[in-house]
Amino acid sequence: MNVEDLPPLREALEAHGLWAKKSFGQHFLLDLNVTRKIARLAHVGEGDHVIEVGPGPGGLTRALLETGARVTTIEMDERFAPLLQEVADIAPNLTLVFGDALKADEAEIAAGQPAHVVSNLPYNVGTPLLIKWLTGPWTPRSLTLMFQREVADRITEGPGEDAYGRLAVIVQATCKAQRVMDAPARAFTPPPKVDSAVVHLTPLAERPSRERLDALQKITAAAFGQRRKMLRSSLKLMGGEELILAAGIDPQVRAEVVPVDGFLALADAWMARR
């Protein structure tokens, strides 16, 4: 497929009378240099299947198709159907799906084959989608995702850093996580109020079991629910000092300094007591 055969994204939007809707979290990337960079950072190409959530006008979709990958898009806003169909008409590697990505069955879309997720995520559903991909029944081969910068920090920061919390623990217990690109608000049309960043996540070969992840979610909810308190106080109802010592952790420390392995040990100790 040749992107040069398509009208520039701004023209395509105008021709279809389309504009960004706030309720769908729409902030578009209309600069192909930016979308090509994201496609490069995703490390996808010929032979790969990419699931892209929220193609909107299709800037990132075009860049992904240029890599030679097969792309399936999931878009909730059906206003984009005619515009995206124009791309699909010249790109046999593109499949369009319309609906809510939170409810999508990725295993069915991927048809039993491995698939990568790449998306400039809608800010209002970005975190629930990430949790779905990391803890749900279907696991992507990799995820390359644009988030608000503050959310990217909450994903990638480590113990002792300001944004380290529940999300970082769940993500880093299941994935290798790297922040790979910063995107200022002015890169988007219309510009959002805050800057963004791209994170690249590679699910670990040895991922915690469903049961262990459930326990981890409960432990981190209690521990970070009162992040300024010592663990022996925030985890009182889950087993207090006895549980914390069984996990080999000092009960006087606060959640914000406990590494991911420490939380996994707490989850194991909690499961062993039940």
Q: In terms of CB distance, is 56 or 239 closer to ligand SAM?
A: 56
Smallest gap from residue 59 Cβ to ligand SAM (A): 5
CB 100 within 8 A of CB 132: no
Smallest gap from residue 221 Cβ to ligand SAM (A): 24
* CA 4/CA 85 separation, integer angstroms: 16
Q: In terms of CB distance, is 120 or 142 closer to ligand SAM?
A: 120
Residues of the shown chain interacting with ligand SAM in the complex, contacts defined by CB under 6 A: 24-29, 53-57, 59-60, 74-77, 100-102, 120, 122, 125
Q: In terms of CB distance, is 26 or 139 closer to ligand SAM?
A: 26
Smallest gap from residue 170 Cβ to ligand SAM (A): 20
Smallest gap from residue 122 Cβ to ligand SAM (A): 3
Q: Which of 84, 68, 133 is nearest to 107 (CA)?
A: 133
Q: In terms of CB distance, is 135 or 220 closer to ligand SAM?
A: 135
Helix (H) or strand (E) holding 119: strand 116-120
Smallest gap from residue 38 Cβ to ligand SAM (A): 8
- Report how far apart the first and last C-alpha atoms of the chain are (Å, whole number): 57
Q: Which of 138, 261, 264 is nearest to 211 (CA)?
A: 264
Contacts of 242 (CB under 8 A, 6+ apart): none
Contacts of 214 (CB under 8 A, 6+ apart): none
Q: In terms of CB distance, is 67 or 234 closer to ligand SAM?
A: 67
Buried b (16+ CB within 10 A) or exposed e, 161-180: eebbbbbbbbbbbbbebebb
Q: In terms of CB distance, is 146 or 258 closer to ligand SAM?
A: 146
Nearest residue relative to ligand SAM (C-beta): 54
Alpha helix segments (H runs only) across 16-147: 32-41, 59-66, 81-90, 106-110, 126-135
CB 264 within 8 A of CB 212: yes
Compute how many other C-beta atoms are within 10 angstroms of the C-beta atom of residue 93: 17
Smallest gap from residue 64 Cβ to ligand SAM (A): 10
Smallest gap from residue 213 Cβ to ligand SAM (A): 23
Q: In terms of CB distance, is 130 or 243 closer to ligand SAM?
A: 130
